[in-house]
């Protein structure tokens, strides 16, 4: 899976607080927990926020790309970081009360394997919290794109921004000893301008006055916050 877009995290301010961080942390605070893992933590921005929000809890960031992981370890020495691969269940051996994934699930066409693996890293009755593109209609959408190039045929397609349906998540949980607890709309209040990297998201105000999120794919990004609970084995 090719993802050149991930490189921008190396130059992003990983100490700034995004609205998604606050919203997901608010959802986490509704339950009892002692450990949180952020899977696909990039350079550690969200674990950094979680440690400030929940200082008495064990916070761990899990990342696959070495370049991002190394920056996280350097920038936040007071937080635990480890390498893990959502496509390899055995790459993570610890168990957590809460696992978060922000903008991660939409990278993978085989989201069922990703979800099964990540759920296995939870304690019984633990919760997986996703900030993800979710389709309210019963349709799963798979996105592939590539930059315009003279070598059009040879340019590899890149992944990202898949939109899984709420219905597919409901069916998955019924088949995998878990339950879909909630699926809430998420929107942002700030204006995001277009940037030089046109795959970075920007906002456009719609007729109702709320802000829709777009990038160069020209697809409105329907972000939601999803909570899935791992059920105890019977």
pLDDT digits (tens, 9 = 90+) for 102-116: 999 999 999 999 999
233 falls in which pLDDT band (50, 70, 90)? confident
pLDDT in the model for residue 112: 97
Q: pLDDT, tens digit, for every residue of 165-224?
A: 999 999 999 999 999 999 999 999 999 999 888 988 999 999 999 999 999 999 999 999
pLDDT in the model for residue 160: 87
4 falls in which pLDDT band (50, 70, 90)? low
pLDDT in the model for residue 61: 98
pLDDT in the model for residue 8: 67
65 falls in which pLDDT band (50, 70, 90)? very high
pLDDT in the model for residue 63: 97
Q: pLDDT, tens digit, for every residue of 81-93?
A: 999 999 999 999 9
DSSP for 110-125, written as a single string: -HHHHHHHHHTTEEEE
* Domains of the chain as residue ranges with CATH: 4-190+222-230 (3.40.50.150)
Please tell me the pTM assigned to this model: 0.94
pLDDT in the model for residue 161: 94
Residue 130 backbone dihedrals phi, psi, to 5 degrees: -110, 135
What proportion of the chain, given as a percentage, has pLDDT over 70?
95
152 falls in which pLDDT band (50, 70, 90)? low
6 falls in which pLDDT band (50, 70, 90)? low
pLDDT in the model for residue 151: 75
Cα–Cα distances in angstroms (integers) from residue 87 to residues 108, 178, 181, in the given order? 9, 19, 24
The candidate with the shortest Cα–Cα distance to 50, out of 82, 74, 18, is: 18
pLDDT at 154 over 70: no
Give the other-Cβ count within 10 Å of 3's Cβ. Answer: 11
Q: pLDDT, tens digit, for every residue of 16-32?
A: 999 999 999 999 999 99
The candidate with the shortest Cα–Cα distance to 64, out of 41, 33, 44, 47, is: 41
6 burial level (CB within 10 Å; 0-12, 13-18, 19+): middle
pLDDT at 5 over 90: no
The candidate with the shortest Cα–Cα distance to 187, out of 9, 17, 68, 18, is: 18
């Amino acid at each position: 899976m090719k993802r050149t877009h991930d490189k921008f995290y190396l130059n992003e301010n990983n100490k700034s607080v995004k609205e998604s961080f606050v919203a997901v942390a608010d959802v986490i605070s509704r339950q009892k927990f002692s450990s949180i893992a952020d899977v696909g933590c990039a350079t550690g921005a969200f674990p950094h926020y979680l440690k400030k929000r929940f200082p008495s809890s064990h916070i761990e960031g899990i990342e696959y790309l070495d370049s991002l992981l190394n920056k996280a370890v350097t920038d936040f020495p007071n937080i635990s970081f480890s390498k893990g691969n959502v496509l390899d269940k055995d790459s993570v051996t610890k168990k957590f009360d809460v696992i978060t994934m922000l903008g991660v699930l939409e990278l993978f066409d085989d989201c069922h394997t990703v979800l099964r693996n990540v759920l296995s890293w939870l304690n019984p009755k633990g919760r997986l919290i996703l900030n993800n593109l979710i389709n309210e209609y019963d349709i799963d959408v798979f996105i592939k794109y590539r930059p315009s190039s003279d070598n059009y045929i040879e340019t590899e397609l890149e992944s990202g921004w898949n939109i899984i349906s709420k219905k597919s998540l409901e069916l998955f949980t019924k088949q995998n000893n878990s339950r879909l607890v909630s699926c809430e709309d998420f929107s942002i209040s700030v204006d995001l301008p277009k940037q030089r990297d046109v795959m970075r998201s920007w906002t456009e105000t719609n007729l109702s006055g709320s802000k829709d999120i777009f990038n160069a794919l020209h697809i409105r990004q329907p972000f939601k916050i999803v909570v899935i609970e791992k059920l105890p084995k019977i």
